[in-house]
Each structure stands twice: as C-alpha cells, then as structure tokens.
C-alpha cells in the first residue's frame, strides 16, 4: 500500500452530527492502523453558510474524543494552509485548464434566467437539469459564438465555469466498501466549478485539495456517493487519474426505528443527543444537547460510533481507542444503514463508567461538593464511589446518587410519609436513634447484626423500621444499601438526620 494520507474535511456550517464524527473516527483509525497521516481540512469556500463558532466546535470535538490530527489549521503541515478560504487563489488555474482542454465552459445565465427555466420545465411536468441535453438552450460559451462570449466578458457580465459532462458515458470506479460502482453520465449535470465571485464550489476545491495534499483514501458518508462519478471525471480531466484516491463510502446512520437518516431533530425529541457537544444556534438561539454535557465518556462515544457500521468479527464489544486502531479495517464496514440505538448507547456508557478508575470520580466529587467533600478522605470518597458506581449510566448521575452523603435532606418524599408513617413510627425512630448512640462499632457489618438483633428484640417489623430510617437519611426511598450508608455517614450525622425528622413531625 502507498503511504496512507486521509482527511476529515468538515464545513463550518453548524455543530458536528454523529455521522460526521463517525467519519472522522474511521479516518483516524484507518490512518493510525496503517501508520499514515490524519489531516483536518476546513472546507469553508461557501461563506454564505458559514456559522460563527462552528470551526471552534470542530476543534473542541476532536480534542474531546482524542482524535488528534497530524496536519491542519493551527498545526501546520507540508501542504498548508488547511482552510480552503485561505487557498482560494490556487483553484482558478485548474478551472482554466479544463476550459482550455474543452472539458469546461463559461455560463452567463443569471439566477433569474435559471429560475425561469426551472419554472418552465416544472409547468411541463419535468425537472430542469443543466446538462448535455439543455446546455445549448442556455447562455454559455457552447451555445454562443466566440465573439458573443468575448463581448459578454468585456462588458463585465458575471459568469460561472461549469464542467462539461460527456454524453452517455459509463463511469466506473471501485469502492472499498461497495465494490464496483457504475454511473451513467446522463445521471449527472454540468456542475458549477467556479462561482461568479471567483471562489470554487465544493467539487473543484475538494478534488484539487485531495490531489495537492496527496490524499490516498477518501473515506466519507454515503450521501457523497452521487458526487463520486463527478469527482472521477475531474481527476480524469485534470490529468490526475493515475493518482486518484481510493473511495470508501460509509453507510448512513439511521433513526432508532430504522426509517430514514438520523437527523438533528430526532435526538432531543427522542431524549438522546445527536451532536458531540452542546450547541446553541447563534442565529435562532435554539439549543441542542451534546454527548459530553449529557454525561457520556469519550471512550464510550468512540465505541458507540465505531459499531455504527463496523464490526470486529468477534463477540467483543468494548474497545480502547488503541484496540480499535489494531482491529479496524474498512473491509469490515457494512453497506447497509446502521440503526442508532439509544439504549445501546446508554449501555456502552454504563460499561465504560464501571471500567473507569474510581479516582476519576473522587476528583469529580471534590469538584461537585467543594468544601463539603473535605469531611471525607480520598479513601472514604473512593468508598462512596464504589457504593454508587453500578447505578451510574451517565457522569451526571454521580451528583444525584451521592448528594445525600454530603447534604442532609432539605426536602422529603411526603407521599411516603402519608402512606407509610404509623402512629408509633416517631417513637420507633427515637428508640433507634438512642440505640445507635450506644453502639461502639459503626461498620456496615456490625450495624447489620446489631440493628437486626435490636429490631428482633423489640419485635418490630423490619420494614416498619428500615423504610422510615432510609427516609430520614436520604429523604426518599432511593439510595444504596442502608447499612453501608449508615457506616459512611457515621454515628453523629446519622443520628442527627433521624432526630431532625422526628423534630419536624
């Protein structure tokens, strides 16, 4: 294999959808597996669609996942600059070469004229396409005489440069994922290559930059498959067909019900993110949730995305990034769309949380509860983590599942009190509080034995004691094993919480 050079080439037109992030991941894995180069290129030639903050969002997203690029904006490289808007002067020469060779032409049609032609076709029940069938009906350097064309240029008439798609020609190429792909040129239109403002369109800039940056493999989403034959022709017309990169078009990520491509609207409506990081639209103010802010770990997100189209051929489901690099191959990427499963995503995060070192959560607890966490040593905080860890599906669950270790309840589940509180419950709790004050050992094991013996001696029902006790300590019926909770809270805090409830009653 020749030197592997791949690129992730997003447009800064909004937040990164999980489909785009998966494309970045697969490019990264393929580059690292083959000891190649992973390039970030910002494709921002369409300044009308530029969204403030989107480029920074791309950088932060890749950094959060640990997908470090080798060349790109801010990093430099042999083929810089890596923003297409900073490369705009170099594309004209390639459009001019195609003009000279007869593979492109000047088109002078105004937007108003183009719209009129579309309406004309629409009224006839047809769809207008600027191609070999219609170009002679339009205002361009093919339908006009040479003198008419020269005059229009001298008069300063705006024009674009369009590719001249050949008539009735089969365009074939091999796709690593899909095998041989065949298009007929009748399916294509004469795309604009250079706009009236002198800026290239996506197609010309994309192919030119892939050539100049020596890209060996183009790994991108299935939505770009219809553009591939156009790009094949551009490589041919520019004389680069012998160095054309290999193509690999990734399957779509589908909605959870499998009906249609996953969209930004599906996420928050279904209670799961479709963007990597939280995003607020700078124009509408609309906010979209992100995996990071929703409490997902980067490693979990990497695994969620890796399995949306690829499988290792084994039963193994959890991989580190390095393990994915070793196992990944484009040949194991499927053709069919992959259904996004929010519950499976949640499962992945839960698994990675269980496998994360407890010290990570100790640090989070110290951040979450600041001064109040100082009452515990690192060893005691690690004990708290070990008690609640299996309840955590998201990082954000840590605060909910540990807050009662640091703060006595300031509100209580009054429904429980109304339904379960008996006439003697206060006196039972008072007796229990007194009994706890007499106990020397406050380990969970000793508490279990001594409290059980005390309840048996009093001939009380276990539930009539333990449920109200949990209510006093937590404020509800949720939480970890009660004797473990008593042991962590300690004698003084536990008794204080019981007596607080009795006093309130």
10 Å Cβ neighbour count for 244? 19
What string of DSSP letters covers 236-264? HHTT-GGGPPEEEEEPPEEPTTSSSB--H
Please tell me the predicted confidence (pLDDT) of residue 436.
97
Average pLDDT along the chain:
95
Q: Show the tokens assigned to 101.
A: 């060779």
Please tell me the predicted confidence (pLDDT) of residue 1.
60
Among 285, 259, 280, 281, smallest CA distance to 270 is for: 259
Residue among 264, 389, 491, 500 flagged as catalytic: 264
Phi then psi dihedrals of residue 83, to 5 deg: -105, 125
Write out 448-499 in H/E/C secondary structure.
HHHHHHHHHHHCCCHHHHHHHHHHHHHCCCCCCCHHHHHHHHCHHHHHHHHH
Instruction: Round to whole Å and give the CA distance between 245 and 6.
Output: 9
Task: Evaluate the omega torsion of the peptide bond into residue 81 and state whether it is cis, within 30 degrees of 0.
Answer: yes
Asked if 7 contacts 213 with a C-beta cutoff of 8 angstroms, the reply is yes
Q: What is the largest CA-CA distance in the chain?
A: 112
Q: Which residues of the chain have pLDDT under 70?
A: 1, 505
146: left (phi over 0), alpha (psi -120 to 50) or beta: alpha
**Chain segment 146-168, per-residue pLDDT in tens:** 999 999 999 999 999 999 999 99
Confirm whether 264 is a catalytic residue: yes
Asked if 461 contacts 498 with a C-beta cutoff of 8 angstroms, the reply is no
Please tell me the predicted confidence (pLDDT) of residue 307.
97
Phi then psi dihedrals of residue 110, to 5 deg: -80, 160
Asked if 290 contacts 273 with a C-beta cutoff of 8 angstroms, the reply is yes
Residue 130 three-state SS: coil
Please tell me the predicted confidence (pLDDT) of residue 112.
96
Q: Show the tokens assigned to 284.
A: 């509408």
Strands 160-163 and 192-194: what pairing? Answer: antiparallel
CATH topology of domain 89-250: 3.90.800
Q: Show the tokens assigned to 40.
A: 């970030």
End-to-end CA, the chain? 78
Question: What CATH number was assigned to the domain covering residues 264-353?
Answer: 1.10.1160.10
Q: Show the tokens assigned to 401.
A: 């599942």
**Chain segment 67-93, per-residue pLDDT in tens:** 999 999 999 999 999 999 999 889 999
Please tell me the predicted confidence (pLDDT) of residue 270.
86
Please tell me the predicted confidence (pLDDT) of residue 505.
55
Question: What CATH number was assigned to the domain covering residues 414-504?
Answer: 1.10.10.350
Question: Which residues neighbour 459 within 8 Å (Cβ) at sequence distance 6 or greater?
Answer: none
Asked if 353 contacts 393 with a C-beta cutoff of 8 angstroms, the reply is yes
């Amino acid at each position: 294999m020749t030197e592997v050079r791949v690129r992730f080439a997003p447009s800064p037109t909004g937040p990164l959808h999980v489909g785009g992030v998966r494309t970045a991941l697969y490019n990264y894995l393929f580059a690292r597996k083959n000891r190649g180069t992973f390039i970030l290129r910002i494709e921002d030639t369409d300044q009308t669609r530029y969204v403030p903050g989107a480029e920074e969002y791309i950088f932060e997203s890749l950094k959060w996942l640990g997908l470090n690029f080798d060349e790109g904006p801010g990093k430099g490289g042999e083929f810089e600059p890596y923003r297409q808007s900073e490369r705009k002067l170099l594309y004209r020469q390639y459009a001019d070469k195609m003009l000279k060779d007869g593979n492109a032409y000047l088109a002078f049609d105004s937007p108003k004229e183009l719209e009129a032609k579309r309406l004309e076709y629409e009224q006839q029940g047809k769809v207008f396409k600027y191609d070999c069938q219609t170009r002679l009906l339009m205002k361009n350097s093919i339908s006009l005489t040479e003198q008419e064309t020269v005059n229009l240029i001298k008069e300063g008439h705006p024009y674009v440069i369009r590719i001249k798609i050949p008539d009735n020609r089969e365009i074939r190429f091999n796709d690593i994922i899909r095998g041989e792909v065949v298009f007929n040129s009748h399916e294509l239109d004469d795309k604009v290559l250079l706009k009236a403002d002198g800026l290239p369109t996506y197609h010309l800039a994309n192919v030119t930059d892939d050539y100049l940056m020596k890209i060996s493999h183009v790994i991108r989403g299935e939505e770009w498959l219809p553009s591939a034959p156009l790009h094949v022709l551009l490589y041919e017309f520019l004389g680069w067909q012998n160095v054309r990169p290999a193509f690999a078009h990734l399957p779509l990520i589908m909605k959870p019900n499998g009906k249609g491509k996953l969209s930004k609207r599906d996420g928050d409506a279904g209670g799961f993110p479709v963007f990597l990081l939280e995003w607020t639209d700078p124009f509408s103010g609309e906010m979209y949730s992100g995996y990071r802010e929703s409490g997902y770990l980067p490693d979990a997100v990497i695994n969620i995305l890796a399995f949306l189209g690829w499988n290792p051929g084994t039963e193994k489901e959890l991989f580190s990034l390095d393990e994915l690099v070793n196992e990944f191959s484009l040949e194991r990427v499927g053709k069919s769309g992959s259904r996004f499963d929010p519950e499976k995503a949640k499962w992945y995060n839960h698994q990675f949380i269980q496998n994360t070192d407890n010290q990570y959560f100790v640090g989070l607890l110290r951040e979450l509860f600041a001064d109040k966490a100082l009452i515990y040593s690192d060893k005691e905080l690690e004990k708290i983590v070990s008690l609640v860890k299996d309840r955590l599906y998201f990082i954000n669950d840590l605060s909910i599942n540990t807050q009662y270790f640091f703060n006595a309840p300031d509100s209580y589940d009054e429904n429980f009190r109304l339904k379960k509180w008996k006439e003697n419950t206060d006196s039972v709790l008072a007796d229990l509080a007194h009994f706890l004050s007499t106990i020397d050992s406050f380990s969970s094991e000793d508490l279990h034995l001594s409290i059980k013996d005390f309840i048996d001696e009093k001939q009380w029902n276990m539930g009539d004691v333990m449920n109200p006790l949990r209510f006093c300590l937590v404020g509800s019926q949720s939480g970890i094993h009660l004797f473990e909770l008593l042991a962590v809270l300690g004698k003084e805090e536990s008794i204080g919480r019981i007596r607080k409830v009795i006093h309130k009653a």
